Amino acid sequence: MTTVTDTMDNVDAQHDHHADHKMTGIKRWLLTTNHKDIGSLYLWFSFIMLLTGGAMAMVIRAELFQPGLQIVEPDFFNQMTTVHGLIMVFGAIMPAFTGLANWMIPMMIGAPDMALPRLNNWSFWILPFAFSILLASLFMEGGGPNFGWTFYAPLSTTYSNGSTAFFVFAVHIMGISSIMGAINIIVTIMNMRAPGMTYMKMPLFVWTFFITAYLLIAVMPVLAGTVTMVLTDTYFGTSFFDAAGGGDPVLFQHIFWFFGHPEVYIMILPAFGIVSTIIPAFARKPLFGYSSMVYATASIAFLSFIVWAHHMFTTGMPLAGELFFMYCTMLIAVPTGVKVFNWVATMWRGAITFETPMLFSIAFVILFTIGGFSGLMLAMTPVDFQYHDTYFVVAHFHYVLVTGSLFSIFAAVYYWLPKWTGHMYSESLGRWHFWCSIISVNVLFFPMHFLGLAGMPRRIPDYALQFADFNKWVSIGGFAFGLSQLIFLALVIKCVRAGKQAEAKSWEGAEGLEWTVASPAPYHTFATPPKVD
Amino acid sequence: MAEQNQPQIKKSVIKLSITVVAMFGFGFALVPLYDVFCEVTGLNGKTASEATTYQANGIDESRTITVQFLSRTAKNAAWQFKPEMNSIQVHPGEMKFVKFYAKNNTGADAVAQAVPSVSPGQAANYFQKIECFCFNQQPLQANEDVWMPLQFYVDPELPEDVTELTLSYTLYDVTATTDS
């Protein structure tokens, strides 16, 4: 991929010519247009949201620890499942990826900053408002949104508890933030690459964010449209989804999943980019099949637009439709398989060391593949009729989102933490975090497969007695996984404050422009673009 | 670096913003597109929302179709609503007249709208209504009742494998949205 000629000059140049003139105190963070500051803001925000959404998951698992209703009312349980989903998708995973994009993309392509720094500031600072609105609605009379994160009509319209308006405005703000972030990423990558860095020389990390940003541009406006229709149906007497007025509730599902399916790739493509960066670094071999990775990413992005109705097999679709969406869905396994093959081939006969980023990346490859396989099972129409709305679905998407997306974010944080803070993190704490997480996450999610196959439905605060033993184990795994994340918090705080001084190139096998600048990365990097051969 | 690229950056931003607006519009365009798609393909059990005229070429007495009638009221409509019979045998092309009974039990004047759906969905395009109470809203005063007409025939083109079809009506209270 990329080779850099003037490595050491660059490190010096940054130090000599650029005093870190930044504002002090809170103003630095409120008014900052620096991509590194904004990246940090995004990452801290997403971590706070992870803990918030995680606390809600703890409520859910505490209620499901044993059969019967013990701790919360069913209505509050529904609010917990709904807001847990919304927070994790829009508050934890997506902003964490945007944060990584902000931190790393300019440094990886040799740009001084993002193309639209002020827009960048705005994209971040509207997010806390969105989530304040959403979380505040939980404390209002009638409670917060309780219709599931998928907000199917008529649950969110006719039968809403009054939280719909808050939910809709919160989603609007999140959507605006994501769209502005995506525009910024695309514009930066298109216009600010260092001389000599052609598209096919870009790190795969940059490629995946580039494609993800296009997906965001294409589908976040559709989500905005959907919530707008829900809003007007609920409060202004329109009948988009109301059969009495000539609308159709099934239409809601079509429009929602037209957004929803590309959305799940928005949450996994950047993870592919991260893992494709880390595995070569610790296998000390270049990425196997770089261009096939680029094309596979693009194919997955394209296919994501024509598979949406596999979420709706049980709505009474005609056979032809079910077959079309089933085959298209299974087709996605092909480019995904190419990727998994390439990661394994990269590791093949490599001189592998197992630092924490690599541990999380390998766990990603294995566990994401398990999530992919359960996805293939769900893609089969006839069996989906049995699995639909059971814990099997819950197990599937938590394998791809937690051990997939979230693990890749952990891997990325460990990998670049020395670059961000200038300190090496505590490897032993990192290992504790990894092993506690990997054991507990499987205790948490693996039994859910069996619960689902045995017929336990999702989103219900009570269950039949025969599910009791497995649910107890799932809950224990859940509490352990939640607590394990506190190790991560401690590790990051410790690393920010002190630690062994990190070298400019913190990992022996690391490649890329970001390792040519000092650690911690100076406030301004690449004011003069580097040359890329 | 950034300064030299300003014009290109501006161009990219404008293009992307237009895409965003277009995709927002596309979300809304899906609404009529979906209706057209359902109407053309007859998916989703949607029947025509306007009366047709009788166009069949004779009656096909070799086939007998059972048409079942279902009636239910939506959660918010406290009306009595039922067909005069549960099912009827028809030959394709044969015209039939069925009445549905509705009574407003709410003690307040109300307007209701019945929404039909045909199952199996593939038969929806062959179920032809010449007259139907579902084409219009039905106002009823408190405790008033009414027999509402349905006149239909089954198109002889109906696929061979369909021997039974179900016509389901859901009655909604639409008083709130019809203030006139």
Contact B23 A255 (CB under 8 A): no
Whether residue B72 sits in one domain with residue B19: no
* Token output for A256: 């929602």
pLDDT of residue A427: 96
| Residue B27, C-beta contacts closer than 8 angstroms, at least 6 positions apart | A221, A222, A223, A224, A225, A226, A255, A258, A259
Give the angle A511-A362-A293 at the CA atoms, nearest 5°. 55
A125: helix, coil or strand? helix
One-letter amino acid at B41 equals: T
d(CA A62, CA B66): 52
Q: Using one digit for the tens of pLDDT, what is the confidence trace for A447-457?
A: 999 999 999 99
Tracing tokens 């637009």 back to the chain, one arrives at: A305
What's the whole-number average pLDDT of chain A?
93
Whether residue B131 sits in one domain with residue B65: yes
Question: How would residue B122 be classed by pLDDT, with cut points 50, 70 and 90?
Answer: confident
Q: Is residue A2 part of a domain?
A: no
Whether residue B125 sits in one domain with residue B141: yes
Whether residue B78 sits in one domain with residue B110: yes
C-alpha distances out from residue A79 to A135, A149, A167, A347, Å: 10, 9, 12, 44
Cβ-Cβ contacts under 8 Å, B26 against chain A: 221-222, 225
Closest CA to A126 of A193, A178, A189: A178
Whole-prediction pTM = 0.91
Count other Cβ atoms within 10 Å, centred on residue A24: 6
d(CA B176, CA B180): 10
Q: Is residue A135 part of a domain?
A: yes
User: What is the domain range of residue B8?
Assistant: 1-41
Closest CA to A54 of A487, A481, A399: A481
d(CA B83, CA B150): 10
Nearest 10 degrees: Cα torsion A503, A509, A513, A518:
0
Listed in order, strand segments (DSSP E) in B87-154 are 87-90, 95-104, 110-119, 127-132, 138-140, 145-154
pLDDT of residue A8: 44
Whether residue B16 sits in one domain with residue B52: no
Dihedral sign for Cα A149, A152, A153, A155, please: negative
d(CA B56, CA A58): 64
User: What is the domain range of residue A155?
Assistant: 7-516
- The stretches of chain B forming alpha helices (DSSP H) are 6-41
In angstroms and rounded to an integer, the radius of gyration of the C-alpha atoms of chain A is 23
* Token output for B82: 């039922």
Q: Is residue A523 part of a domain?
A: no
- The stretches of A65-163 forming alpha helices (DSSP H) are 74-86, 94-109, 117-125, 127-136
Closest CA to A87 of A139, A144, A30, A159: A144
A22 phi/psi in degrees, rounded to 5? -130, 155
Cis-peptide into B120, omega within 30 deg: yes
pLDDT of residue A20: 59
d(CA A442, CA A445): 5
Q: Taking 50 as the threshold, does the pLDDT of residue B142 lie above it?
A: yes
% of chain A surpassing 90 pLDDT: 89
Q: Is residue A529 part of a domain?
A: no
Cβ-Cβ contacts under 8 Å, A221 against chain B: 20-24, 26-27
Q: Using one digit for the tens of pLDDT, what is the confidence trace for B62-121?
A: 889 999 999 988 877 778 899 999 999 999 988 899 999 998 888 888 888 888 888 887
pLDDT of residue B159: 86
Identify whether the C-beta of residue A376 lies closer than 8 Å to the C-beta of residue A334: no
C-alpha distances out from residue A198 to A291, A443, A474, Å: 13, 45, 48
d(CA A181, CA A119): 8
pLDDT of residue B99: 92
Whether residue B161 sits in one domain with residue B110: yes
Cβ-Cβ contacts under 8 Å, A116 against chain B: 9, 13
pLDDT of residue B3: 55
d(CA B39, CA B49): 10
Give the count of domains, chain B. Answer: 2
d(CA A314, CA A293): 34
* Token output for B113: 């709208």
d(CA A397, CA A240): 29
Q: Using one digit for the tens of pLDDT, what is the confidence trace for A362-399?
A: 999 999 999 999 999 999 999 999 999 999 999 999 99
- C-alpha count within 13 angstroms, C-beta hemisphere, residue A436: 18
Q: Is residue A530 part of a domain?
A: no
Give the count of domains, chain A. Answer: 1
pLDDT of residue A5: 46
**Can A103 be counted among the known catalytic residues?**
no
- The stretches of B42-95 forming alpha helices (DSSP H) are none
Among all residues of chain B, which has the CA nearest to that of A244? B172
Whether residue B96 sits in one domain with residue B27: no
Q: Is residue A487 part of a domain?
A: yes
Catalytic, out of A226, A276, A374, A403: A276
Check which CATH number belongs to the domain holding A353 and give it. 1.20.210.10
d(CA A66, CA A80): 17
pLDDT of residue B119: 82
- Probe site for chain B from A120, A155, A187 (most B CB atoms < 10 A): A187
Roughly how many angstroms between the first and final C-alpha of chain B, as a whole number? 64
Cα of A221 to nearest chain B Cα, Å: 4
Whether residue B141 sits in one domain with residue B59: yes
More confident residue, A352 or A316: A352
Closest CA to B173 of B50, B75, B70: B75
Of the partner residues B13, B35, B172, the one whose CB lies closest to the CB of residue A183: B13
* Token output for B66: 């059972």
Closest CA to A243 of A145, A318, A153: A153
**Can A149 be counted among the known catalytic residues?**
yes
Whether residue B18 sits in one domain with residue B55: no
Q: Using one digit for the tens of pLDDT, what is the confidence trace for A236-284?
A: 989 899 888 878 899 999 999 999 999 999 999 999 999 999 999 999 9
Whether residue B167 sits in one domain with residue B85: yes
Identify whether the C-beta of residue A260 lies closer than 8 Å to the C-beta of residue A307: no
* Token output for A154: 């008529």
Of the partner residues B16, B76, B174, the one whose CB lies closest to the CB of residue A186: B16
Whether residue B20 sits in one domain with residue B58: no
pLDDT of residue B179: 56
Q: Using one digit for the tens of pLDDT, what is the confidence trace for A338-357?
A: 999 999 999 999 999 999 99
How long, in residues, is chain A? 533
Whether residue B36 sits in one domain with residue B54: no
Q: Number of Cβ pairs closer than 8 Å across A and B?
A: 115
Check which CATH number belongs to the domain holding B121 and give it. 2.60.370.10
Helix (H) or strand (E) holding B68: strand B65-73
Closest CA to A68 of A465, A477, A471, A450: A465
Q: Is residue A144 part of a domain?
A: yes
One-letter amino acid at A259 equals: F
Q: Is residue A497 part of a domain?
A: yes
Cβ-Cβ contacts under 8 Å, A528 against chain B: 1
Identify whether the C-beta of residue A201 lies closer than 8 Å to the C-beta of residue A291: no
Catalytic, out of A42, A103, A149, A420: A149
How far is C-alpha B5 from the chain's CA centre? Answer: 55
Helix (H) or strand (E) holding B166: strand B164-173
- Probe site for chain A from B4, B6, B13 (most A CB atoms < 10 A): B13
Roughly how many angstroms between the first and final C-alpha of chain A, as a whole number? 9
